[in-house]
Amino acid sequence: MTNITDGDLLLKNITAQAPFPICFADLEKAVAEKIEAGPFGYIRSGAGGEQTLRNNRAAFEKYSIVPRFLKDVSNVQTSINLFGKTYPTPLLFAPVGMNGMVHDEGELAVVRAAEHLNMPYIQSTVSTYALEEVAQAAPSATKWFQLYWSTNEEIAFSMVARAEAAGFEAIVLTVDTVMLGWREEDVRNQFSPLKLGYARGNYMNDPVFTATLPDDSFESYVQGVLQNVFHPTLNWAHVRELKKRTNLPILLKGILHPEDAKLAIDNGIDGIIVSNHGGRQLDGVIGSLDALPAIAKVVNGQIPIILDSGVYRGMDALKALALGADAVAIGRPFVYGLALEGQQGVEKVMTNLYDELKVSIALAGATSVKGLRNITLVKHDGTEVR
Ligand SMILES: Cc1cc2nc3c(=O)[nH]c(=O)nc-3n(C[C@H](O)[C@H](O)[C@H](O)COP(=O)(O)O)c2cc1C
Ligand SMILES: O=C(O)C(=O)c1ccccc1
């Protein structure tokens, strides 16, 4: 239970200390000034003409809350349950690869922040540090492993086994990135973190992967990753095979169609992440929040739904939770925090998102995450959603 009256959540940001960017636009601006165009463009941009990047934001702007008052909102319960564990907030860290691009401590700084805040951390396959190093950096954090299937699928199974052994508690299979999206900003900047070796963490120490390399040169390693990380054959048979290979809960990340959500349930999947990869994969696809209501209807509470893509403030999280998500995952905002101030920056970004969410739940007239399902929302055309 969070007591809203324990000091004002906004005013604690107005102090004599060094100021920190308070919103996504300010964060993005500060990072643009701090890091080089290549990595900045890689993180910021969306695929193609960035329609989906815009769709993500537009989707949140379409909804407005009609608040209720005089309901005693002094105690707001923000905790949630996922796979048998309780977390104090409905916020997660989305899997983001190659964190070494923006900070030397990379994923280690992020997982330490996740541990401190008790928010689940999803580690990417293409991380700068190995999953064992991440586990060691934050032994008590809840860690899930995001799997990119490998063309040589024994590499994928090897990574899953390593994740299990290191104490990771779920596998998140990303289904929307069987090849890279058409990312024009990276061509403009002639920038590929994959080619620069930032994705080495989990591959370099994988015995199945290294056994396939002709030698231990940097070029062989980069080639090996490129040959394996893109895997356009991925299909439901692979999902069923993965289920046989692990006892951990499996989530599918990148679901946008209600039929795929239904198939996930039919195939015994334990959770889904409604996501368009932050607009970085197929341009022109639906905003993730726009995809949520139809998926929530099909899923009907059978498995948890996490939403990401464009959750840049507490109010966005509130809308997603109100429209059927059980939790939301954050991508770019925490990466920007990492770029600015390492672990501390990540914590500041996530804490501000959380504090704004708390204020928003209370000011909307609700006192819990579940209670958000009862608040009134209208769409921009004035139609009442509920
Ligand atoms: C720099 C960057 C790298 C990413 N790497 C991965 C990855 O390795 N695996 C994955 O499943 N998603 C990856 N994503 C997508 C995120 O998990 C998430 O879906 C997306 O960032 C959410 O949108 P947001 O950035 O608008 O919050 C990446 C996103 C960014 C910005
Ligand atoms: O950049 C990304 O969004 C991403 O997910 C990715 C996918 C494959 C290789 C490297 C990064």
Q: Tell me which amino acid residue 302 is.
A: Q
Is pLDDT of 1 > 60? no
Among 102, 148, 173, 177, residue to substitute to test ligand 2 (most atoms within 8 Å of Cβ): 177
Ligand 2 site residues, Cβ closer than 6 angstroms: 97, 126, 177, 194, 199, 229, 277, 280
Q: Given this model, what pLDDT does residue 17 score?
A: 76
State which H helix or E strand residue 2 sits in: strand 2-3
pLDDT band with cut points at 50, 70 and 90 for residue 6: low
Q: Given this model, what pLDDT does residue 7 score?
A: 73
pLDDT in tens, 205-260: 999 999 999 999 999 999 999 999 999 999 999 999 999 999 999 999 999 999 99
Asked whether 40 and 186 are in contact (CB, 8 A), the reply is no
Q: Tell me which amino acid residue 188 is.
A: R
Q: Catalytic residue numbers?
A: 277
Mean pLDDT of the 261-277 span: 99
- Tell me what percent of the residues of the chain surpass a pLDDT of 70: 98
Is pLDDT of 4 > 80? no
pTM of the complete model? 0.98
Q: Tell me which amino acid residue 79 is.
A: S
pLDDT band with cut points at 50, 70 and 90 for residue 277: very high
Mean pLDDT of the 275-301 span: 98
Query: What burial letters (b/e) apply to 228-252, b meaning 16+ CB within 10 Å?
Result: bbbbeebeeebbeebbeebebbbbb
Asked whether 80 and 325 are in contact (CB, 8 A), the reply is no
Which numbered ligand comes closest to the C-alpha of 177? 2
Q: Given this model, what pLDDT does residue 315 score?
A: 98
Taken in order 78, 79, 80, 82, the sign of the CA dihedral is positive
Mean pLDDT of the 170-184 span: 98
Quickly list DSSP for 159-213. HHHHHHHTT---EEEE-S-SS----HHHHHHT--TTTTTTT-HHHHT-HHHHTT-
Which numbered ligand comes closest to the C-alpha of 313? 1
Mean pLDDT of the 322-329 span: 98
Q: Ligand 1: distance of its center to the CA of 307 in Å?
A: 12
Which numbered ligand comes closest to the C-alpha of 287? 1
Q: Tell me which amino acid residue 183 is.
A: R
Is pLDDT of 3 > 90? no
Mean pLDDT of the 347-370 span: 98
Is pLDDT of 344 > 80? yes
Name residues whose C-beta falls within 8 Å of residue 118's C-beta, 6 or more positions apart in sequence. 87, 88, 89, 142
Closest among 83, 19, 86, 52 to 290, alpha carbons compared: 52
pLDDT in tens, 67-86: 999 999 999 999 999 999 99
Is pLDDT of 162 > 80? yes
Q: Ligand 1: distance of its center to the CA of 205 in Å?
A: 23
Q: Given this model, what pLDDT does residue 2 score?
A: 61
Alpha-carbon distance 304 to 253, whole Å? 12
pLDDT band with cut points at 50, 70 and 90 for residue 109: very high
Mean pLDDT of the 28-57 span: 98
Ligand 1 atom closest to Cα of 98? 3
Per this entry, what is the length of the chain? 386
Q: Ligand 1: distance of its center to the CA of 175 in Å?
A: 13
> DSSP alpha helices (H): ranges in 35-152?
37-44, 51-61, 106-117, 131-137
- Tell me what percent of the residues of the chain surpass a pLDDT of 90: 93
Indicate which residue's Cα is closest to atom 29 of ligand 1. 96
Is pLDDT of 332 > 80? yes
Is pLDDT of 281 > 90? yes
Taken in order 22, 23, 26, 31, the sign of the CA dihedral is positive
Pairing of strands 80-82, 85-87: antiparallel
Among 45, 60, 93, 96, residue to substitute to test ligand 1 (most atoms within 8 Å of Cβ): 96
Q: Given this model, what pLDDT does residue 101 score?
A: 98
